Structure 1
Amino acid sequence: MAAQTDKLHIDVWADVACPYCYVGKQRLKTAISRSGHQEEIELELHTFELDATAPKEPAEIASYTAQKMGVSRERALEMDRRVKGMADQDGLPYETERIHANSFDALRLLQLAKQHGVANELMSRLQRSLFSGRRDTYDHAAMTASAVDLGIPEDEVRTVLAGDQFAAQVRRDQQAALRLGATGVPFVVLAGRYGVPGAGTVQSYADAIRTAWENR
């Protein structure tokens, strides 16, 4: 958690692979843009590994969800279509026929991106790639290209992806969220005091921003 400043600080915990994080982050962004305080709000991204059991090799999302949850593939698709409806309303590309894989390497890379001040931008790129149906989102070469395009030195990116650097930071981020009462992500905390669990509506985020701003 960042030190107190004159600005309104918003902490966001999210996972690349989490569809509700994808939608929630866009809604929070919209609420911030409409708040009248856009230039006075600091948004800090924290990583949270939602599915540590996800396979290293990408799997088809509906089949994976069906097996993990013990439901039919059609039931898994039906659940995902509900999220697609939310994404469609917010103008986000969303394909139910996509891959799913372990996100830990991507989360470690986001920790590096955070050091370079582009974590939010990299998260947006990786999520848009994944949920628009690209099959190589978790490929190290694809992640490297996205990170380098944002100005992160290629040698630093390759070093992170080749080893286990930032693994401890990913776990510390997750433990911090759990201590604050998070049971999943997205998890948003405004001014260190006001929590919004789950993918809120634009209005719920706007209300939280208003309250936090008035009481900061």
Structure 2
Amino acid sequence: MNEPQFAAQTPILFSETLVKLPEHKFYRQTFIFEELLAIMLWAVTRISYDVNCLVEGTKARAIQPAGGWEQGTIRLLAIVSLKASHSVGDSEDKYIEIDCKTKQPPNWLLTDTAVIQSDNNLVCREPRQVGAILRELKQELQTACVETTDFLVPTRLGFPAVELLEPGREWRHAQMRLGLEISFISDRPRDSQNPPRTSSALPQPVLPLGENLTR
């Protein structure tokens, strides 16, 4: 139940990469990528106190199909995804997916059909499916911060086109998306020697966009 789920990743220099939005949003048009991640996270946390608690992590239990209830910690992830066009030296488009809080690739994600319940949070005080919670929170996010709407709901042309500028490279085009997911870290260790791993315990090297990870 608690296996990490990884998407295709290409790390990026958060503090040195510029992102230019298609129009002025969040008080200006061009941001350092690290700033933009913080703004997206802020937009999610301002939905409500209980949502903010979910972002920080809340004790809960979870169950997936063909599994049993497990105790652990659930966390709401605000995830920025970028699909960047290839540049000189790259033969393919690059896909980046980053958890706005940890600035790491998201993992330990629950499926939409999983059910979670927490005595400490009104969002899931009663057992609820993850998919239903996420749909509700996306609607509430659009109300709390209308600037996020374009990044949550695609038009017939897709998600908004942005531009990326990394050190030593030229501007390149990308599509940007904001997504919400829920992760679950079980309290039950994998074995008697090692504690359960968390996102922060799975460090990923941060390299310029376009360079490959060595595993």
TM-score normalised according to structure 1 size: 0.24
In terms of fraction of residues, the more helix-rich structure is 1
- Greater RCO between the two (CA within 8 Å, min separation 6)? 1
Question: Looking at CA atoms only, which structure, 1 or 2, has the larger radius of gyration?
Answer: 2
